[in-house]
Amino acid sequence: MKVQVIDLKKQNMKIWEELSPRIEGLFQESRFILGKEVEEFERNFASYCGTKFAVAVNSGTSALLLSLLAHGVGKGDEVITVPFTFIATVEAIVFSGAKPVFVDIDAKTMTIDVGKIEQAITPRTKAIIPVHLYGEVCDMNPLREIAGKYNLSLIEDACQAHGAEYLPRAKKAGSMGDCGCFSFYPSKNLSAWGEGGMVTTDDEEIAEKVKMLRDHGSGKKYYHKMIGLNCRMETLQGLVLNCKLKYLDEWNERRRAIARQYTEAFQNIDAICLPFSPSYSRGVYHLYVIRTSERDELKNFLQEKGVGTGLHYPLPLHLQDSLRYLGYQEGAFPVSERTAREIISLPLYPEMEEVEVKYVIDSIKEFFR
């Protein structure tokens, strides 16, 4: 048997009959950028997240960058985040003109260690970007307290957390900071047929700034209030995402069900550190990531058995060649470094069949026997 780490085709084929007539109409009308389909998706996604506004852009990276720019982050500023995340989080900081400042992750949750943030704050600190990694939300109450205490912008990187909930506030990811940033990359829980992103906010002024920034700084065609970028969402992506949105909760529940099967099956294997879901988070398992000191051997074994896996992420950002200029050395963030050596992502997607789940479980049990 072969089990892919994710199978995009299965999900897309399920909604093809629903989408195909609308796609044909879209192409007959030759409407390709923004438009009513994107506006409808913005309204529905804002309602889903529980925010007043949502602004669609062309990627999660753009969502992060435009959120920073809309909050006035620029040259000479510092932005605090973690070294254990996808590089897009930090690329946005760098391209805003600011300097990334790292704090380590918590050993259990693999999200930002809130207790280490204040010691990283300087007079130049302008914002904090907590990353809701693998579909689990960060502990937002203390993060909001710190941001308020030091008058910092709080920008949620929710690119892996569509529909995840922070239970103490009964709020969804992307609705608790000054902005929430989402990616609709094809492998995400809510995925486009290409690239896509979203900025959510309750601040009308920020929403309007992001709208202008995504469209060359223009509020009206050919009249430019600021220097912007071309970060507009394609009409097709708005159409696809709006269709998929109504299935998101159902798909997330299926992810949770598969995750429970994995957790129950592996809980007595001492060599595995299972994903930890803190009491404040109702996660959506964008990825099911275990940790083991035998990671590379397990990966090779599963590959021979036909089971796909992923490494999210094998090298922390402070050790990447592109960010060496920041001056961090190996050992600076030991939890992130150790985690990067041990993580392995198992197959998990809503359309995964029970026989495939069982095969993955049996294969992993066979390796550890």
Per DSSP, the residues of 150-215 read: TT-EEEEE-TT-TT-EEGGGTEETTSSSSEEEEE--TTSSS--SS--EEEEES-HHHHHHHHHHHB
Identify the CA nearest to 18 among candidates 225, 355, 247. Answer: 247
Q: What is the rounded distance in angstroms from the CA atom of residue 246 to the CA atom of residue 269?
A: 37
C-alpha distances out from residue 199 to 215, 223, 254, Å = 14, 23, 26
Contacts of 346 (CB under 8 A, 6+ apart): 5, 262, 288, 289, 290, 309, 360, 364
Distance, CA of 326 to chain centre: 24
Q: What confidence tens digit (pLDDT) does each residue in 293-326 have?
A: 999 999 999 999 999 999 999 999 999 999 999 9
pLDDT confidence of residue 220: 87
Select the CATH number that applies to the domain covering 9-245 from these four: 3.30.2010.30, 3.30.9.10, 3.40.50.2300, 3.40.640.10: 3.40.640.10
Exposed (0-12), middle (13-18) or buried (19+): which is 307, by Cβ within 10 Å?
A: buried
Mean of pLDDT values over 67-92:
98
- Per DSSP bridges, beta strands 78-81 and 99-102 are parallel
pLDDT at residue 219 is higher than 90: no
Q: What is the pLDDT of residue 161?
A: 98
In the CATH hierarchy, which fold is given to the domain comprising 248-368? Aspartate Aminotransferase, domain 1 (3.90.1150)
Two domains, one topology: 9-245 and 248-368: no
Model confidence band, residue 82 (pLDDT cutoffs 50, 70, 90): very high
pLDDT given for residue 273 in this prediction: 97
Any idea where the domains of the chain sit in the sequence?
9-245, 248-368
Percent of residues, the chain, with pLDDT higher than 70: 100
Give the lowest-confidence range in 26-35, 86-95, 134-143, 258-267. Answer: 26-35
**Average pLDDT of the residues of the chain:** 97
- 12 band by pLDDT with thresholds 50, 70 and 90: very high
Structure tokens at 246: 């109504």
67 pLDDT tier (thresholds 50, 70, 90): very high
What are the C-alpha distances in Å from 65 to residues 68, 127, 147, 176? 5, 12, 19, 18
Which tokens go with 228?
């912007």
Chain segment 156-199, per-residue pLDDT in tens: 999 999 999 999 999 999 999 999 999 999 999 999 999 999 99
| Other residues' Cβ atoms within 10 Å of the Cβ of residue 286 | 27
Q: Percentage of residues in the chain with pLDDT exceeding 90? A: 98
- Mean pLDDT, residues 36-61: 98
Quickly state the pLDDT bin for 119 (edges 50, 70, 90): very high
Least confident of 121-130, 202-211, 214-223, 265-274: 214-223
Q: How confident is the model at residue 259 (pLDDT cuts 50, 70, 90)?
A: very high
